[in-house]
Amino acid sequence: MIAKRFSGCQTEIARVQCADVTIATAGFTRDAAAGLSCSGVPLDTIIARVGTPAYVYSAALIRQAWRRLDRAFAPVPHALHYALKANSTLALLRLLRAEGACADANSAGEIEVALRAGFTPDQIVFTGVGKSDSELRRAVSLGVHAINAESPGEIDRIEAIARDAGTRARVAVRVNPDIDAGTHHHISTGRRHDKFGVPIELAPALYRDMARKPALVLVGVHVHVGSQITDLAPLRRAAESVVGLARALRAEGIALEHVDLGGGLGIPYDDSPVATIEQYAHALVPIVRSSGVTLLLEPGRVVVGAAGVLVAAVVDIKASGDRTFVVLDAGMTELLRPALYGAYHRIEAVRPRAGARRRYEVVGPLCESSDVVGRDRELPPLEVGDLVAILDAGAYGSAMSFTYNRRPLAAEVLVEDDGWRVIRRRSTVDDLLALEVDGE
């Protein structure tokens, strides 16, 4: 078993080397005897204990992605603020914190979860297009590392809150550089007509104005042009535009501590080419090095995306016209991405049956025709009760799940080198009803 094979590594250095050696084998592997496994643990062994649907994460793959990122950006002073929105299950946050991660929170809720995971306020940046006064008050009073401000109006509110509290708020301005990230339009955030940030040409005057306000500490400039970006050109252009802004501000006497280039690097969900972590760093490092300031990044998907699968069971199979529907016990409530973006996730049988492969419409159990997991997929023959794994579901899977049709939230499992454990139990109807007041 893979986990056993490397369990003899003793020292920290040896452990890191082991992580490198296992790049091809850590995480999800398949063999004839065990079917699909996670770091040596057959998925059906886990499911026999926790049931379906369940998310299964590989700690080894998360650490591996994290270390690759950290190593790739080593040539410049940097801090990696993991974007909690991708997946903020506490056990994963604690794992990442132990790896040296900082945090990017997008709501007061994510700030509190980051604190509970052990992040300190100075390790947290607070981003988000609609921060309420109470969220800003919390961030200001905690003294987070930076509030990435989205508008002149928000900056006024931050300034008033900090002044009233007799403190100073650390602020970066999120600029909108009018760059098309070339990704799905739902997750493009850097074009003029997207709701995010301050048009970059307005930023110099805004910074001059902010510099006159003693309750504000101008710490950085922030940009995030989108997510699941596969081509580096837009990320390079975004970096050049904010580094140019930081340089121009310094020439005016406004010296920033950092440029925050957000997240956005994609992962290969299918066979289309995607820039690697190393190519990403290779593109950005020279631009940032020339600025002389610290680089902040807010990676999410690239850290956890490939490290998680959603395991579901086949609950029904039926023919309709020329289609055969395979109905799973997981759908858009567990993994919204296919329904919301038409996103593609590979689907694999956990223990493939012998026989000719067939074409299936793989759908969820919800009362919505958009509740499709994969259209027209060629798979080994499936039968009711079989398990399938929906791959690359670690990012924006569990984090975007919901309880429509009074469905419970799926269980989550983390597989470590030395075994596996439930990190979130499946919710119950009592959990679902816990907030309701019906007068009885």
Measured from the CB atom, the residue of 299 and 352 that comes closer to ligand LLP is: 299
The least distance separating ligand LLP from the CB of residue 31, rounded to whole angstroms, comes to 31
Phi and psi of 206, rounded to 5°? -65, -45
Selected from 37, 89, 127, 176, the binder of ligand LLP by CB under 6 A is: 127
- Choices 16-24, 260-268, 316-324, 418-426; region in contact with ligand LLP by CB under 6 A: 260-268
Q: Is 258 in the site for ligand LLP (CB under 6 A)?
A: no
- Distance between CA atoms of 45 and 80, rounded to whole angstroms? 35
Q: Is 224 in the site for ligand LLP (CB under 6 A)?
A: yes
- Choices 24-32, 245-253, 262-270, 280-288; region in contact with ligand LLP by CB under 6 A: 262-270
Q: Check residue 86 and report its DSSP letter.
A: G
The least distance separating ligand LLP from the CB of residue 395, rounded to whole angstroms, comes to 6
Nearest alpha carbon to residue 259 among 233, 297, 229, 226: 297
Burial of 378 from C-beta contacts in 10 A (0-12 / 13-18 / 19+) = exposed
Contact 345, 435 (CB under 8 A): no
The least distance separating ligand LLP from the CB of residue 224, rounded to whole angstroms, comes to 4
The least distance separating ligand LLP from the CB of residue 223, rounded to whole angstroms, comes to 9
The least distance separating ligand LLP from the CB of residue 230, rounded to whole angstroms, comes to 11
The interface with ligand LLP within residues 184-213 (CB under 6 A) comprises 187
Q: Is 227 in the site for ligand LLP (CB under 6 A)?
A: yes
Q: Is 110 in the site for ligand LLP (CB under 6 A)?
A: no
- Distance between CA atoms of 44 and 127, rounded to whole angstroms? 39
Measured from the CB atom, the residue of 25 and 107 that comes closer to ligand LLP is: 107
The least distance separating ligand LLP from the CB of residue 318, rounded to whole angstroms, comes to 29
- Contact string (CB under 6 A) for ligand LLP, positions 132-161, x = contact: ------------------------------
Selected from 213, 258, 337, 424, the binder of ligand LLP by CB under 6 A is: 337
Please confirm, yes or no, whether 367 is among the known catalytic residues.
Answer: yes
Measured from the CB atom, the residue of 219 and 382 that comes closer to ligand LLP is: 219
Q: Is 396 in the site for ligand LLP (CB under 6 A)?
A: yes
SS3 content of the chain, % helix, strand, coil (to 5): 35, 25, 40
- Choices 31-39, 81-89, 379-387, 425-433; region in contact with ligand LLP by CB under 6 A: 81-89
Contact 218, 250 (CB under 8 A): no
Which of 9, 18, 102, 367 does the annotation list as catalytic?
367
Phi and psi of 340, rounded to 5°? -80, -40
Two structure tokens written together for 231: 């081509």
Q: What CA–CA distances, in Å, run from 237 to 36, 188, 243, 386?
A: 41, 15, 10, 47
Torsion angle in degrees (nearest 10) through CA of 119, 120, 125, 127: 70
Phi and psi of 319, rounded to 5°? -100, 145
- Choices 17-25, 133-141, 296-304, 356-364; region in contact with ligand LLP by CB under 6 A: 296-304
- Contact string (CB under 6 A) for ligand LLP, positions 82-101, x = contact: -x-xx---------------
Host H or E run for residue 38: strand 35-38
Q: Please work out the total of residues on this chain that contact ligand LLP, with binding judged by CB under 6 A.
A: 22
Phi and psi of 263, rounded to 5°? -115, -145
Instruction: Name the amino acid, one letter, at 37.
Output: S
Torsion angle in degrees (nearest 10) through CA of 375, 376, 378, 384: 70
Burial of 251 from C-beta contacts in 10 A (0-12 / 13-18 / 19+) = exposed
- Distance between CA atoms of 18 and 351, rounded to whole angstroms? 28
Contact 199, 245 (CB under 8 A): no
- Choices 4-12, 95-103, 221-229, 425-433; region in contact with ligand LLP by CB under 6 A: 221-229
The least distance separating ligand LLP from the CB of residue 276, rounded to whole angstroms, comes to 14
The least distance separating ligand LLP from the CB of residue 173, rounded to whole angstroms, comes to 13
Measured from the CB atom, the residue of 298 and 371 that comes closer to ligand LLP is: 298
Nearest alpha carbon to residue 284 among 246, 249, 243: 243
- Choices 1-9, 45-53, 110-118, 224-232; region in contact with ligand LLP by CB under 6 A: 224-232
Active site residues: 367
Footprint of ligand LLP on this chain (CB under 6 A)? 83, 85-86, 104, 127, 187, 224, 227-228, 262-265, 298-302, 337, 395-396, 400
